[in-house]
A = this chain, B = another copy of it.
Amino acid sequence: MDELDIRNFVEALKQGKISPEKAIERLRKLPYEDLGFAKIDHHRSLRQGYPEVVFARGKTLRQVREIVRGMLRAKASHNILITRADKKMFAAVKRLAGKRAGSARPEFHELSGTIAILRDRAIRGKGLILVVTAGTSDIPAAEEALVTARAMGNRVEAIYDVGVAGLHRLLEHRQKLAEARVIICVAGMEGALPSVVAGMVAAPVIAVPTSTGYGSSFGGMTALLAMLNSCASNVSVVNIDNGFGAGCVASVINHL
């Protein structure tokens, strides 16, 4: 009974405006679709303005296909995002989408493995979300963040390869940094970029550690820990390589 006014509901029931059966059903039914192995939460899209999202890794091709089929079936015009997908999944999704007249064309962002079906391209986020990376190898996570934030209705721009060991490359983009309403800062290795960037701006900085690096970078753990211990206080952190999460958090903030 999330959005229900309890008083109204009780009154309606009292006055016979709702039959007991309807009332019971209403108390029970929630807007999601049950595929058995997965429950599609149309409700969440309704409630939070999120796209419908499938995290493809760890799911079989068949499972992904069934979930996307269910999403496309729903009349809603929400965007659809499939993260950590591969080429086979993209081919399957293209076939599914092709059958439905009027449906938007799926796009595949290869570096990050993100499939986006943008059925709604309106910009509702209030400002600019800026995605910044320390190196070239951080681009996959940055791309996932960028595609996610766009699918959630934001204006997004990116600056790549401005790591802290060459400050002049970063300092040149001060203007753009100052312009951004939210910054997503993507870095592997020592994960120092968010501290430096956050010290230069007043905006919230979402730090994304990446698994870029080797040896004692421990698959991104070092960058993650560094970011959590940032001496800048406008920084918060998401999981390693979690471009999707960063895009979501940034979008949620940018819609405030």
Contacts and interface: CB of A to CB of B under 8 A. Distances in A.
Contacts of A111: 60
Interface stretch (A93-101, A112-120, A158-166): A158-166
Nearest to A246: B236
Contact of A190 (B49, B182, B192, B206): B192
A60 to B, nearest CB: 8
A166 B41 contact: yes
Interface residues of A, number: 111
B221 A229 contact: no
Nearest to A245: B233
Given A189-B230, A228-B224, A229-B222, A137 B59 contact: yes
A136 B58 CA distance: 8
A16 interface: yes
Interface in A201-256: 202-204, 206, 209, 211-242, 244-246, 248-249, 252-253, 256
Nearest to A206: B236
Interface string A1-43: 0100011001101101000100110011010100011110101
Work out how many copies of this chain go into the complex. 8
A241 B195 CA distance: 19
Which of A47, A127, A239, A245 is packed against the most chain B CB atoms within 10 Å? Answer: A239
Interface of A: 2, 6-7, 10-11, 13-14, 16, 20, 23-24, 27-28, 30, 32, 36-39, 41, 43-44, 47-50, 53, 55, 57-60, 63, 67, 84, 111, 126-127, 134-137, 139, 160-169, 172, 174, 181-182, 189-192, 195-196, 198-200, 202-204, 206, 209, 211-242, 244-246, 248-249, 252-253, 256
